Amino acid sequence: MREIVVDTETTGLDPTEGHRIVEIGCVELKHHVPTGRNYQVYINPERDMPEEAERVHGLSSDFLSDKPVFSEIAVDFRDFVADDPVVIHNASFDLKFLNFELGQLEAEPILPEQSVDTLMIARRKYPGAPASLDALCKRFQIDASERTVHGALLDAELLAQVYLELIGGAQPGLSFSDRGEAAAGNGGRKLVARAPRPTPLPSLVTEQEAKAHKEFLDALPVPALWNSGK
């Protein structure tokens, strides 16, 4: 199963008021393991950057002035996400912006039923407790020390770890600390040798089934390999 953890940074709170996306970050998971395949892009919003937004993510108008506009990255972004589930913290916010931008280009939207909202999962699992990304990182002892400002790819990587904890706990040895590390070997998982059981489990084969199996083997024109003495 492929899932895409998505985060965006914007110039404000509402695209219908002229606010735009300035960064998209995505982390690919397969069977709840990071593959090391990520997608990140800065976007020229074709407008000014409000001071309060710049304080949140640190992206200035000057920095974004030479970056591609959304129409130039839309196909690559949509191809990366494809039709797989998207994992988003407060999905209604990010989808509102993403689908506004995609709608301007008459491109295929990301459907609400395609999304997994970690904010809703956290609120159901821990009612009344803080459910921001920072609060959940603290709850699960996830290192968010690099998060001095919001960044879409960093936040997506942190959210991926939070998501795995919310749905039952991360794989042993799962690490996002080295970009792309999970793409090699066993996806960042540690293989643990298990000791044999002290008492073997009883056989689930009945005497009748064992007898029928023996009769079948005896009737074969050539002895079964494991009974041939080879």
CA atoms within 13 A on the CB side of 51: 0
- Stated as kind and residue range, the H or E segment containing 3 is strand 2-10
Q: What b/e readout covers 160-189, taking b as 16+ CB neighbours within 10 angstroms?
A: bbbbbbbeeebbeebebeeeeebeeeebbe
Look at residues 32, 27, 74 and name the one whose alpha carbon lies nearest to residue 165.
32
Integer CA distances (angstroms), 86 to 27, 127, 128, 198, in order: 10, 23, 25, 44
Q: Are 28 and 35 in contact (CB under 8 A)?
A: yes
Residue of 19, 57, 89, 150 marked catalytic: 150
- DSSP class of residue 47 equals S
**Burial degree of 95 (CB within 10 A; 0-12, 13-18, 19+):** buried
What is the distance between the alpha carbons of residues 179 and 175, in angstroms, rounded to a whole number?
A: 9
What is the distance between the alpha carbons of residues 132 and 119, in angstroms, rounded to a whole number?
A: 7
Active site includes 19?
no
Could you give the residue numbers annotated as active site? 150
